[in-house]
Structure formats: C-alpha cells, structure tokens
C-alpha cells in the first residue's frame, strides 16, 4: 500500500523531533562519523548482527515536557516551539521512509507531557500501527517512560525488539543534581527492573538497555562502572550507553564544561572489558579521583599497572589470560588457542594472521620463550619492558 502524507508541516516536525532525539544515545561514539554520512537529521547509524551498520529512524513522539531536568533541551522552562506527532502521523511517516529504503528500524522516545501513562500510550499506539497496519517486521527500540503503567509496559514488550529506561545517573544523590522531579529508586530503577524481569520471562530480540549522562553530576568513572557491572550481572542488561554531557543554551547547565569525547570513549572501552573480557570494575585502572586514564585505553592501563602478569607465553597461556593482553581480542585469542593445538603459533606473522595487533601485543608476550618488543620503539619498549618485568 502506498503511503502519502499531505500535511506540509510534517517534515518540519520530523526535522525538529529527529534532531532532539539525538540526546538519547544508542550507539558507540565512533558511529558519529557514520552519522555525518546519513542524509537526514533523524536517521542514525546503528549496529546490527555481525557489526553491520543499519539506518535507524530516531524520533520523539513529542518535545513537550512537564519535567525540568537541568541539562535537557526539552525542559519545561526552556522557551521554544513545542510539537507532537499523533500516532497515525508518525506511523505513516516512518513507513514512508522505511519503504523508501531510507530507514531500516525505528527508535521511538519522547519528552513527558500529561503524565507518563498518557505518553506511553501514544508511543505504544504508534508502534502498534507500524506493526499491525503497516506490517513492519523490522527492528523497533521503544523507550519506556518512568512511572508508566505496568500493563502498558507488558503490552510494549509484545511490539518492541528492545525496551529501555534511562537511569541518567549512578545513584539517587547524583540524579538529584540533574533532575528535580525524578525519583531514582521508585521510578527509574523500579521501571528498569520491571522491564528486565519481563525480558527474563520472555526474552526480547534485542534485550533491555539504559543510558547514563556523563559529566554534570560530578560522578566518577568508577561509580559508573560499578553500576554498569551490577546491571549486567543482576538485571541481565544488554547494554549501558554513556551519553557525554553537552551544555545547551538556556538551561541551568549552559556554563558547565562538556564531557570530553575521550572520557566517553574510555567508558565504552572499559564497559567492553566488563562485558566481554572478564574484568571486574575494581580491576580497572582508575586515578585517585576514581577516573579512567584518558590518554590510553583501559586494557593497556591495566596491563602497565600489572607487570607481574607479563610477559605471557602465548603457546601455553590460558584463554582468559590471553584476553588480558593489549592487542589480543576475543577472536584472536580463540584463534591462538585453536592454532597452537595443531601446528603452533608461527611467530609474530602467525599472530598477525589471527588479527592480533602485533605492534601492541609484542611488548607483552613471549613466543616459545622469545620476547620481541616493537623494533620502531625498541628503546622505549625495552625501557618499558625493564619497568614492566623488573621483578621477574
């Protein structure tokens, strides 16, 4: 069925509500360069199965809000035009872009007007139309509004591939510095627990996620990592997203400094170590303020702080130990374990073929007892090596 929208202001609404949806983060910051290549402000790159990039139609149902969070573009006391899509308008618009090959999935969020249940009902009606009237079978990420009715949340789980609630901060005290009207425990955490329980009973295709705002509440990286670790272990979250703060005009936080892109990047790298590499939050290399180093990735920081663990003999080291070597990822560690059983590693060249970042890893490993640090930086590598292995 052809879908045609005649109202001329819909594209203006879409530009505005698509731009404002950018504050809801759903991807790694490296994807921002891919974002620049997207044709429309409301289309965002997302990562699908096998690392494939696919374009997501990312939009707010409305930017009208009863809330007054200090950092937010949509806060009640900020003067700008408030607009809203009706469910049928938005469902038609998405379908047009989907059928036109511009979007492959939908990410729907909203500011909160007239109470959480009213907003959630409208969003739910939008995705219901997209699924039932327009027969869309692809990916839908639906935000759950904190405080929304439990029955609505259960209904939302039938239509969405992913549900999320933004926790915003690592503790009630930090949240109170960001949002005067949100209750951390009874609204945000309870809501997240509710959707995580639904997901355990009947798994969503793309699980449950949350987002933390990084910077303005004065939280340390250690607090963010400890919270994320608990959420992965206790609630089985799929992902935690870290949204680096950007000061916005006409908000109480307009003069605060922005979060550096490096801080955001290091948080994603550290998060990866928690989820995929068996690190615990207490092992990460924090400074005395509890923050990760920004001048090196946290895995390298950990390795430099643990000279007693290196050099590691790759012909015999257990898989879990290989994972801790800078430059060796999960796929290359699996390759090493498989290959060495049959014919042996085959030196640095063999490691390179297994996608090891040799220039980094060679400073932390031996192959059949031979240590071969990076030749370009031999002096530095040897100095580092003396520093690293002086106790061996």
Q: Which residues bind ligand SF4 (CB under 6 A)?
A: 65, 67-69, 72, 74-75, 111-112, 179
Q: Parallel, antiparallel, or unpaired for β 53-60 and 43-47?
A: antiparallel
Nearer to ligand SF4, 191 or 329 (CB): 191
CA dihedral 313, 318, 324, 328 (to 10 degrees): 70
Structure tokens at 208: 């449950």
If one counts every other C-beta atom within 10 angstroms of the C-beta of residue 251, the result is: 18
Nearer to ligand SF4, 83 or 348 (CB): 83
If one counts every other C-beta atom within 10 angstroms of the C-beta of residue 145, the result is: 25
Nearer to ligand SF4, 75 or 263 (CB): 75
Query: Can you say whether residue 50 is alpha, beta or left, with left for phi > 0 and alpha for psi between -120 and 50 degrees?
Result: left
Q: In the complex, what is the shortest distance from the CB of residue 191 to ligand SF4, in angstroms, rounded to a whole number?
A: 13
Nearer to ligand SF4, 179 or 265 (CB): 179
CA dihedral 310, 316, 318, 321 (to 10 degrees): 20
Q: In the complex, what is the shortest distance from the CB of residue 109 to ligand SF4, in angstroms, rounded to a whole number?
A: 9
Q: In the complex, what is the shortest distance from the CB of residue 20 to ligand SF4, in angstroms, rounded to a whole number?
A: 9
DSSP, collapsed to helix, strand or coil, labels residue 140 as strand
Nearer to ligand SF4, 69 or 312 (CB): 69
Q: In the complex, what is the shortest distance from the CB of residue 108 to ligand SF4, in angstroms, rounded to a whole number?
A: 14
**Cα dist. 181→187, 195, 302, 312, 356 in Å?**
10, 22, 39, 52, 49
Structure tokens at 267: 């948080």
Q: In the complex, what is the shortest distance from the CB of residue 42 to ligand SF4, in angstroms, rounded to a whole number?
A: 17
If one counts every other C-beta atom within 10 angstroms of the C-beta of residue 347, the result is: 13
Nearer to ligand SF4, 63 or 126 (CB): 63
Q: Which residue is nearest to ligand SF4 (CB)?
A: 67
Nearer to ligand SF4, 169 or 284 (CB): 169
Q: In the complex, what is the shortest distance from the CB of residue 69 to ligand SF4, in angstroms, rounded to a whole number?
A: 3
Structure tokens at 1: 């069925």
Q: In the complex, what is the shortest distance from the CB of residue 179 to ligand SF4, in angstroms, rounded to a whole number?
A: 6
Query: Looking up tokens 């498989």, which residue turns up?
Result: 338
Nearer to ligand SF4, 17 or 367 (CB): 17
Question: For the CA atoms of the chain, what is the radius of gyration?
Answer: 24
Closest CA to 325 of 340, 341, 305, 311: 311
Dihedral pair phi/psi, residue 270, rounded to 5°: -65, -40
Nearer to ligand SF4, 65 or 354 (CB): 65
Nearer to ligand SF4, 110 or 363 (CB): 110
Q: In the complex, what is the shortest distance from the CB of residue 12 to ligand SF4, in angstroms, rounded to a whole number?
A: 20
Closest CA to 268 of 23, 49, 30, 22: 30
Q: In the complex, what is the shortest distance from the CB of residue 80 to ligand SF4, in angstroms, rounded to a whole number?
A: 13
**What is the full DSSP assignment across 244-307?**
E----TTSTTTTSPPPPHHHHHHHHHHHHHHHHS---GGGS---TTS---SSS-HHHHHHHT-G
Dihedral pair phi/psi, residue 85, rounded to 5°: -90, 140
Q: In the complex, what is the shortest distance from the CB of residue 122 to ligand SF4, in angstroms, rounded to a whole number?
A: 14
């Amino acid at each position: 069925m052809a879908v045609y929208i005649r109202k001329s202001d819909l594209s203006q609404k879409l530009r505005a509500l698509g731009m404002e949806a950018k504050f809801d983060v759903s991807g790694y910051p490296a994807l921002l360069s891919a974002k620049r290549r997207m044709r429309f402000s409301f289309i965002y790159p997302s990562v699908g199965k096998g690392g494939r990039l696919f374009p997501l139609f990312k939009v707010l149902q409305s930017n009208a809000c009863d809330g007054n969070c200090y950092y937010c573009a949509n806060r009640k006391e900020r003067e700008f035009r408030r607009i809203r899509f009706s469910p049928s308008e938005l469902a038609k618009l998405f379908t047009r872009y989907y059928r036109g090959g511009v979007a492959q999935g939908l990410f729907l969020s909203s500011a909160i007007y007239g109470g959480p249940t009213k907003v959630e009902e409208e969003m739910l009606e939008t995705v219901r139309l997209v699924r039932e009237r327009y027969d869309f079978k692809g990916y839908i990420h639906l935000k759950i509004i904190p405080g929304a009715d439990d029955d609505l949340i259960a209904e939302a789980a039938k239509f969405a591939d992913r549900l999320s609630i933004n926790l915003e901060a690592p503790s009630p005290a930090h949240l109170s510095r960001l949002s005067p009207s949100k209750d951390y425990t009874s609204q945000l955490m309870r809501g997240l627990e509710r959707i995580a329980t639904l997901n355990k009973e009947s798994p969503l295709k793309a699980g449950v996620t949350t987002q933390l705002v990084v910077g303005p509440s004065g939280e340390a990286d250690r607090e963010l990592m400890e919270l994320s670790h608990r959420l992965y272990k206790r609630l089985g979250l799929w992902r935690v997203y870290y949204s680096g703060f950007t000061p916005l005009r006409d908000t109480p936080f307009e003069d605060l400094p922005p979060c550096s892109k490096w801080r955001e990047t290091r948080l994603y790298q550290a998060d990866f170590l928690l989820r995929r590499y068996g690190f615990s939050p207490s092992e990460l290399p924090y400074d005395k303020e509890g923050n990760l180093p920004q001048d090196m990735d946290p895995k390298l920081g950990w390795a430099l702080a643990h000279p007693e663990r290196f050099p590691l003999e790759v012909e015999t080291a257990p898989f879990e130990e290989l994972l801790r070597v800078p430059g060796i990822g999960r796929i290359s560690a699996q390759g090493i374990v498989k290959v060495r059983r049959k014919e042996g590693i085959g030196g640095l060249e063999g490691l390179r073929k297994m996608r090891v970042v040799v220039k980094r890893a060679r400073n932390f490993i031996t192959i059949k007892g031979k240590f071969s640090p990076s030749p370009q930086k031999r002096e530095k590598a040897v100095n580092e090596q003396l520093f690293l292995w002086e106790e061996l």
